[in-house]
Amino acid sequence: MESVRREKVAALLKSQAGRKVLAKGWVRTKRGNKNVAFTALNDGSTIHNIQIVCEMSRFTDEMMRPVTTGACIGVTGTLVESQGSGQNVEILADEITVYGTADTSYPLQKKGHSLEFLREIAHLRPRTNTFGAVLRIRHAMAFAIHKFFNDKGFYYLHTPLITASDAEGAGAMFQVTCLDLQNPPKKEDGTIDYSKDFFARHTNLTVSGQLEGETGALALGEIYTFGPTFRAENSNTPRHLAEFWMVEPEMAFYEIEDNMDLAEEFIKYLVKYALDNCMDDLQFLNDMFDKELITRLQSVISTEFARISYTEGVKILENSGRKFEFPVYWGADLQSEHERYLVEEHFKKPVIMTDYPKDIKAFYMKVNPDNKTVRGMDVLFPKIGEIIGGSQREENYEKLQNRIKELGMNADSLWWYMDTRKFGSAPHSGFGLGFERLLLFVTGMSNIRDVIPFPRTPKSAEF
């Protein structure tokens, strides 16, 4: 059977009938009668299956018995024009090789399992239509991110996952240690002596690559990071993971307006890339989960995002006459319900909000002349709320130093970060896009656990 080269199902479905072919993949369904058996084969290359037709004059019942839902098989045969509806071509089988059987305990026997159930079999769910579609789109978006930045002359900078600066303030951190937890070395005052630990200091998993990213921008001009980040936030929401991927561009000589322009261009590029390259998968998700998905994606690439200040946003919310669960007042950290009101009901399009009160934002954001607000910007999206958080960074050494003091932060571990302001500082800006939040928007899925292969959330790290 190996004399014919294996082709992927995606390619076979688009090709001309009338030749010998070899396909390999997993059986989705099998049906038939005593004369003929129809098997739907999928190999992950497309949402569509190829139909395998076995005439029972050539195949015995015994040969067909191991060809069950979930089994992995190879098929040689002739690619013929399909008699039935729903596909152009099918394979009229000569020979079937069974690589791996699957008995009746295979959990994906029937269609229509709940997303909750599928999370319990995260190792098998890529074999469903839904997760095949999501994972192909996830790949396409990762590729498009690299393409977007590469085409613009940004460099992909690898920032560390293990960090000693625990002052970033983006969220609670996971500690990294090799100390014996039963019997850790202690200092005279009774506290743990981290100088005896692997790195000779206290270390954590990173919550963001930004601070290291800034050192790259102030040398290479324009960089981006794209990697996993970790937050030990005990918030069980459909939009938070403990391990998620973040894209963080950082650019020298960008003011906040340039930063907003880049963020808007970037998201539109990614959404357009999905519409141009993932239509089969999007159509499936649109039909199955979210009838407005494709319309919503199209509308985002054709509308200009609204741009408002935090102060304006708070006024709109206060005048909305709406009762929110969390109260709105100038100085409050806006909640997802507020963000979604602005996006979905007031503006009816994505919103970029800027100039937040300095007290609710991170130490590195550039303070405005009013000394009350900072040049932060969040991009707010329908159904999701915050998809991007970013800012122009404070480039002035003294101002940054004062801000760190004001917040009572420990500046010692940030000496290298402060050096970027001491030596050849420059105006610069950047932002962080949560990759899974983007995927929620692009796929229309409503739980962030369903857009990453192996979700990490409180009390859950199986697989």
Which residues are at the interface with ligand ATP (CB under 6 A)? 170-171, 231, 233, 240-241, 244, 246, 386-389, 432, 434, 436-437
Residue with Cβ nearer ligand ATP (196 or 340): 340
Is residue 210 within 8 Å of 430, Cβ to Cβ? Answer: yes
Instruction: Please state whether beta strands 203-205 and 222-230 pair in parallel, antiparallel, or not at all (unpaired).
Output: unpaired
The Cα–Cα gap between 334 and 312 comes to 13
The Cα–Cα gap between 257 and 390 comes to 11
CA of 174: how far to CAs of 171, 193, 197, in Å?
10, 18, 15
Residue with Cβ nearer ligand ATP (261 or 276): 261
Supply 408's token pair: 């009572």
C-alpha count within 13 angstroms, C-beta hemisphere, residue 222 = 12
- DSSP class of residue 305? P
E strands, 145-242, in order: 155-156, 162-163, 175-176, 203-205, 222-230
Query: CA 300: distance to chain centroid?
Result: 18
Residue corresponding to tokens 């409503």: 446
Instruction: Please state whether beta strands 175-176 and 155-156 pair in parallel, antiparallel, or not at all (unpaired).
Output: unpaired
Proportion of the chain in helix, strand, coil states, percent, rounded to 5: 35, 25, 40
310 Ramachandran zone, left/alpha/beta (phi>0; psi -120 to 50): alpha
Give the full edge-to-edge strand order of the sheet including 428-434: 155-156, 222-230, 243-252, 428-434, 385-392, 373-381, 351-357, 306-309
The Cα–Cα gap between 81 and 71 comes to 25
The Cα–Cα gap between 167 and 331 comes to 22
Q: SS3 string of 358-387?
A: HHHCCCCECECCCCCEEEEEEEEECCCEEE
Which residues fall within 8 angstroms of residue 211, CB to CB, at 6 or more apart?
A: 165, 168, 364, 414, 417
CA of 425: how far to CAs of 169, 218, 432, in Å?
23, 7, 21
Burial 353-364 (b: 16+ CB within 10 A, else e): bbbbbbeebbbb
Q: Considering the complex, what minimum distance in angstroms separates the CB of residue 334 from ligand ATP? A: 9
The Cα–Cα gap between 59 and 3 comes to 21
